[in-house]
Amino acid sequence: MKNILLIAVFLMCASITHAQEKIYTPEANAKEDIKAAVKAAAESGKHVFLQIGGNWCPWCVKFHRFTEADAEINDFIQKNFVVVKVNYDPKNKNEEVLAELGYPQRFGFPVFVVLDGKGNRIHTQNSAFLEKDKDYDRDKVLRFFKNWSPAALDPANYQ
């Protein structure tokens, strides 16, 4: 009986810790974070990947875990993008930033925006198109990142 109780307490604690995982920082200054990311992207020859959503959003958390767990996708992102998690929740909707980005929230959450090294929005992605069944489709996600990488948009690669 003690073992069953111990296991139940352990599982309950694990699920509480799991549910409180913070991927987005509600109090972050998205405008400043994006500005810093654009500067870093310009200096490193990368693009900026904005993952817009919130800790309340199961698909936002799922996408974060999905890309972190897949070594190839994670490596590709790190080599080609500066990542910013832009919070959207009742306490901080980042309405000014989202207006400047063309209202990407119209696609639901998470929604992804790619900026070039100058801060120009070059793509907005509805994340639903990257899903398969009740998860994300690995091939679609990897293709998305490859299609919007700096190399994919370099005219020299098409001569």
* pLDDT given for residue 21 in this prediction: 80
For the segment 117-139, the average pLDDT, to the nearest whole number, is 97
Q: What is the CATH number of the domain that holds 93?
A: 3.40.30.10
* pLDDT given for residue 3 in this prediction: 53
- Answer with the residue of higher pLDDT: 53 or 2: 53
The predicted model scores a pTM of 0.87
- Helix ranges restricted to H, the chain: 2-19, 30-44, 58-69, 71-80, 95-100, 138-147
- How many domains does one find in the chain? 1
Domain-located, residue 16: no
**pLDDT(18) > 70:** no
**What single DSSP character describes residue 76?**
H
Question: Alpha carbon 76 to chain centroid distance?
Answer: 14
Contact 105, 97 (CB under 8 A): no
Mean pLDDT, the chain, whole residue set: 91
Amino acid identity for residue 20 in this structure: Q
Domain-located, residue 4: no
